[in-house]
């Protein structure tokens, strides 16, 4: 090897490191130690057999009966190679059942071709959102790369484990046994069906799949039967994890994180170009060729809240907006390392308003937020409340509380557990026989870091700031999940 200035400088750096002060040594040890939040991305080695949870606070509200299904990555590391990004771990479907005041938990991994291959090789080899993979990957179709790890949709007695780049993976809702990838129409086999379906007031379901600047728009019955699928062209090839909808329109928020060059991992294909601003594309559900565009300042995002349209044509929806995509690229990589400082800033809950005259504006709640969710009875319809996880801040990744934003009053009602908890997304469960927005519970798990266990909480929407009305604790810690769905 020919000596060079670069090698010389590296040698000099190594020399200076050799004269370390005690402070430097302690800092280095702290850097290497597992972070307090490391359980969020710990590996789960096997399925979790059904088990009772212990009630540790309050009592289950009368009338609350049903199952919270949740999906999220739960296996990242194998002897011969690891997933280097939070979004690339194997999907684990959790089932938290509340019945007769008791709660139970079971969880099973989605039995994907990716997981089978990687179990056989004892190495993560499949390329993903932020994991490069290698030549040992066995990919004949997009579904072969599916981690089936992002979200869940309930269709009758089945649940669909959703991912971003391929088909839904059907699992039995009772046993969580993996059954098959869902082909909605033979000629559309393997087409992407993303993780954030939107439920319309007419009981049907809309979803999308992205490929470059083309989007396949899926329209389904709640049973999972296909009504129609059409392909539309978007004004830019933007990274799009979530879309939203009003009763009459689909809404695509096109951030300035745009396709730049082919390559893997997937996220490396996109370049952040804030000078492009953010566009909002409105598409008429009744005529997908009828569109309109609004312009907003640049922001990054993963998640939107449901949209609605007011009598004068004004459209509103929530977004968990970020100043850029640092967390998506770097933060979610460090999160899997389980140590050190996680790059990126928390997202903030904002309300986007699109006026009929072509003007668009964003109203900020001023609150750190992710996973905005509304009352399912009002999906696509006017509402006041948005539920979200809260409390994330620089230096402490992931949320530690739950909050309800009231857009009518501008007030944010929050409960914070403190840093011993990692709060997960809540589902909104209407109270039986009631119709007001506040007549609902929030059901969500957390990871209790002090106890080293997963917990399940029930909050009352009307008094979320008072904390959970019931908390159960498991005898196992599951890593943090992404998205859930409730089946009453
Ligand atoms: Fe998501």
CATH assignment of the domain containing 321: 2.130.10.10
What distance in angstroms lies between residue 18's CA and the mean position of ligand 1's atoms? 45
pLDDT at 6: 40
The CA 364 to ligand 1 mean position distance, Å, reads 21
* DSSP state, residue 329: I
The alpha carbon of 196 and the centre of ligand 1 are apart by a number of angstroms equal to 7
CA distances to 15, 43, 428 from 337, rounded to whole Å, are 27, 11, 32
Distance 342 CA to ligand 1 centre (A): 19
Q: How far is the CA of 404 from the centre of ligand 1 (A)?
A: 19
CB 293 within 8 A of CB 232: no
| Cα 87 to ligand 1 centroid, rounded to whole Å | 10
- How many angstroms separate the CA atoms of 72 and 69, rounded? 10
Report how far ligand 1's centroid is from the alpha carbon of 302 (Å): 6
Question: Is the separation of the CB atoms in 93 and 115 below 8 Å?
Answer: no
Provide the token pair at 302: 């993963």
Q: How far is the CA of 241 from the centre of ligand 1 (A)?
A: 6
If you measure from the C-alpha of residue 49 to the centroid of ligand 1, how many angstroms do you get, rounded to a whole number? 26
Q: What pLDDT score does 396 carry?
A: 87
Ligand 1 centroid–CA 150 distance in Å is 6
How much distance in Å is there from the Cα of 13 to the middle of ligand 1? 42
Ligand 1 centroid to residue 194 C-alpha, Å: 9
Contact (CB, 8 A) for 370 and 444: no
Distance 445 CA to ligand 1 centre (A): 16
Cα separations in angstroms, 365 against 225, 321, 382, 386: 38, 11, 18, 11
What is the whole-number distance in angstroms between the Cα of residue 346 and the centre of ligand 1?
A: 15
Q: What is the tally of helices (H) and strands (E) in the chain?
A: 5, 35
Strand partners, 388: 403
Structure tokens at 351: 């309300």
pLDDT the model gives residue 22: 58
CB 269 within 8 A of CB 260: yes
Alpha carbon of 333 to ligand 1 centroid (Å) = 16
State in Å: Cα 198 to ligand 1 middle.
12
Ligand 1 centroid–CA 71 distance in Å is 10
Separation of CA 358 and ligand 1 centre (Å): 29
Mean pLDDT by groups of 10 residues along the chain of 488 residues: 37 39 58 87 97 98 98 97 97 98 98 98 98 96 97 97 97 98 97 98 98 97 97 98 98 98 95 98 98 98 98 98 94 94 95 98 98 98 98 90 98 97 98 97 98 98 98 98 98
**Residue 370 C-alpha to ligand 1 middle, in angstroms?**
10
Alpha-carbon gap, residue 429 to 450, rounded angstroms: 28
**CA-CA-CA-CA torsion sign (89, 92, 98, 104):** negative
Range of the structural domain that residue 122 is part of? 5-487
Ligand 1 centre distance from Cα of residue 213 (Å):
20
Cα separation, 208 vs 191, in Å, equals 10
CA of 148 to the centre of ligand 1 (A): 12
CA of 223 to the centre of ligand 1 (A): 22
CB count in 10 Å sphere of residue 393: 13
Structure-block tokens of residue 469:
């009305």
- Distance of CA 164 from the midpoint of ligand 1 (Å): 9
Q: Please tell me the predicted confidence (pLDDT) of residue 4.
A: 40
Q: Is 397 strand, coil or helix?
A: coil
Largest distance between two CA atoms of the chain = 79
Residue 12 Cα to ligand 1 middle (Å): 45
Domain count, the chain: 1
Burial (Cβ within 10 Å: 0-12, 13-18, ≥19) of residue 72? buried
- Distance from the CA of 93 to the center of ligand 1, in angstroms? 15
Q: Are 160 and 153 within 8 A, CB to CB?
A: yes
Residue 298 tokens read as: 């640049």
pTM above 0.85, yes or no: yes
Dist CA 135 CA 254 (whole Å): 33
In this structure, how many other beta carbons lie within 10 angstroms of the beta carbon of residue 451?
14
Q: What CA–CA distance (Å, rounded) separates 236 from 461?
A: 38
In the sheet with 401-406, reading across from the earlier edge strand, the strands are: 370-373, 385-390, 401-406, 411-416
3-state helix, strand, coil in the chain (%, to 5): 15, 40, 45
Residue 312 phi, psi (nearest 5): -90, 5
CA of 378 to the centre of ligand 1 (A): 20
CA of 62 to the centre of ligand 1 (A): 31
Q: How many angstroms does the Cα of residue 163 sit away from the middle of ligand 1? A: 9
Distance 485 CA to ligand 1 centre (A): 12
**Total length of the chain:** 488
Ligand 1 centroid vs 402 CA: distance in angstroms?
A: 17
CA of 347 to the centre of ligand 1 (A): 13
How far does residue 26's CA lie from ligand 1's centre (Å)?
A: 38
CA of 339 to the centre of ligand 1 (A): 24
């Amino acid at each position: 090897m020919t000596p060079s200035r670069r090698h010389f400088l590296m040698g000099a750096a190594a020399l200076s490191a050799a004269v370390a002060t005690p402070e430097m040594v302690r800092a280095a040890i702290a850097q290497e130690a597992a972070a307090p939040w490391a359980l969020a991305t710990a590996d789960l080695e096997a399925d979790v057999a059904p088990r009772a949870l212990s009630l540790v606070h309050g009592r289950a509200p009368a009338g609350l009966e049903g199952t919270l299904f949740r999906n999220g990555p739960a296996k990242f590391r194998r002897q011969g190679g690891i997933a280097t990004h939070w979004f690339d771990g194997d999907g684990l479907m959790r089932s938290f059942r509340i019945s007769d005041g008791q709660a139970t938990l079971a969880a099973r991994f989605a039995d994907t071709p990716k997981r089978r291959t990687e179990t056989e090789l004892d190495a993560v080899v499949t390329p993903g959102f932020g994991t490069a993979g290698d030549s040992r990957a066995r990919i004949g179709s997009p579904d072969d790369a599916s981690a089936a790890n992002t979200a869940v949709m309930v269709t009758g007695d089945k649940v669909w484990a959703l991912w971003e780049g391929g088909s839904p993976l059907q699992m039995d809702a009772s046993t969580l046994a993996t059954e098959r990838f869902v082909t909605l129409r033979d000629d559309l086999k393997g087409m992407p069906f993303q993780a954030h379906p939107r439920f319309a007031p007419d009981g049907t379901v809309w979803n999308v799949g992205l490929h470059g600047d083309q989007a396949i728009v899926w329209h389904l019955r709640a049973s999972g039967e296909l009504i129609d699928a059409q392909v539309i062209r978007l004004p830019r090839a933007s990274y799009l994890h979530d879309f939203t909808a009003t009763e009459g329109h689909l809404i695509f928020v096109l951030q300035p994180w745009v396709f730049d060059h082919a390559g893997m991992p997937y996220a490396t294909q996109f370049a952040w170009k804030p000078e492009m601003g953010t566009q909002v594309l409105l598409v008429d559900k009744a005529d997908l060729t009828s569109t309109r565009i609004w312009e907003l300042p640049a922001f990054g995002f993963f998640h939107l809240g449901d949209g609605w349209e007011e009598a004068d044509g004004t459209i509103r929806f929530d977004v968990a907006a970020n100043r850029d995509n640092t967390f998506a690229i770097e933060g979610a990589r460090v999160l899997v390392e389980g140590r050190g400082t996680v790059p990126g800033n928390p997202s903030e809950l904002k309300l986007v308003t699109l006026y009929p005259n072509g003007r668009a504006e964003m109203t900020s709640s001023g609150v750190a937020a992710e996973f905005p969710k509304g009352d399912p009875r009002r999906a696509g319809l006017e509402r006041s409340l948005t539920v979200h996880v809260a409390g994330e801040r620089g230096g402490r990744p992931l949320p530690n509380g739950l909050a309800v934003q009231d857009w009518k009053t501008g007030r944010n009602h929050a409960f914070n557990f403190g840093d011993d908890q990692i709060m997960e997304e809540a589902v909104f469960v209407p109270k039986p026989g009631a119709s007001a927005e506040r007549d609902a519970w929030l059901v969500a798990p957390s990871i209790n870091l002090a106890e080293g266990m997963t917990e399940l909480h029930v909050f009352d929407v009307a008094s979320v700031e008072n904390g959970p009305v019931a908390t159960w604790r498991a005898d196992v810690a599951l890593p943090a999940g992404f998205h859930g769905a409730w089946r009453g």
